[in-house]
Structure 1
Amino acid sequence: MMKFVNESIVFQEIPDEVTLAINISNCPCRCPGCHSKYLWGDIGDILTHDLLEKMITKYDNAITCVAFMGGDATINDLNDLAIYMKNIHPALKVAWYSGKTLIAPTLHKEYFDYIKIGPYIEHLGPLNKKTTNQRLYMKQGSEWCDITCRFWDK
């Protein structure tokens, strides 16, 4: 079962979106230099539809996107939550951050609007550095476009 530790409203994870970021625990990636090592443990509460609904209701009409920050260890649960989001809250965008370098083949990408992949590699930097190994993809129709450059200073 997918567990979450906390949530917050963020403005920089997904461009042009006010995002409810939900931090998922039990991360299998264990990236060196990780700023969220507390998420490596199998801790927190099981993320159910009811808990997700409470979070969305808590922020009322303030959010435009829900991002699952992690979930690599529980792809089936991640798929279930994304399907729930698209069925119950079709106006909200759905995003996922994976610390892996490739999108899991079992992920139902059709239920996501944004997917960020890539482990954090300290010397390459985060998304706002041109040297980053991480990538953010946005679904446009049936295609996925790399929009990572939107984070870089022009």
Structure 2
Amino acid sequence: MLKYVDSDIVFQEIPDEVTLAVNISNCPFRCSGCHSMHLWKDIGEPLTVDVIDGFINKYGGAITCVCFMGGDAEPDGVAALSRYVHERYPGIKVGWYSGRSAVTNKDEYGSFDYIKLGPYIESLGGLDNRSTNQRLYRRGTDGRLIDMTSRFWKLP
């Protein structure tokens, strides 16, 4: 069962979106240097469609995207919530920050408008570092993933 620890409105996780970020616990990756080590534990409240409805109703039209931060222990559950958001709230985009290195087929990412892939490797830095192994993709109209990681980099 997916569990969430907290949520917040953020402006940097998905470029050009006002994002409701939902922090999901029980991360299986446990990356060295992780800034969210509390999410390694199986803690929090169940993340259900009723909880998602509550979040979206609370923020009304203020958000343009819901981003699931984690959930790698139950990717099918995250994908199901993504499909729910798209069906119930067609104007809201959905993202997933995953620590996975890759997706193997379209079914794994087809319900997401955005997906961040890659475990955090401290020596390579996060998305704002040009040497990062992590990548943020947006799904194009043809279903292909388009790398948009450079949007996080500062101009030289």
When normalised by structure 2's length, the TM-score is: 0.95
Q: Output aligned runs, 1:85-96, within 5 Å.
A: 85-96=85-96
Q: How does 1:1-154 map to 2 (within 5 A)?
A: 1-103=1-103, 105=105, 107-141=107-141, 142-154=143-155
Decide whether the 8 Å contact of 1:75 with 1:106 is kept in 2: no
Q: What is the aligned residue count?
A: 154
Structure 2 unaligned regions, length at least 5: none
**Structure 2 CA distance for aligned equivalents of residues 107 and 46 of structure 1:** 24
Deviations 1:77-130 (A, max 9, x none): 112101101100110000001112112658542211000011111111111110
Name the CA distance, whole Å, in 2 between partners of 1:144 and 1:128: 19
Aligned amino acid, residue 13 of structure 2: E
TM-score (norm 1): 0.96
RMSD: 1.2
Q: What percent identity do the matched residue pairs reach? A: 54
After superposition, give the CA deviation of every residue in 1:62-90 in whole Å (9 maximum; x if it has no partner). Answer: 10000000011011211210110110011
The 3 A distance-change label for structure 1 pair 104 and 45 is: farther
- Work out the CA distance in 1 between the residues paired with 2:104 and 2:80: 15
Q: Match for 2:35: what amino acid? A: H
* Cα distance between partner residues in 2 of 1:25 and 1:16: 26
Shift of 1:54: 0.3
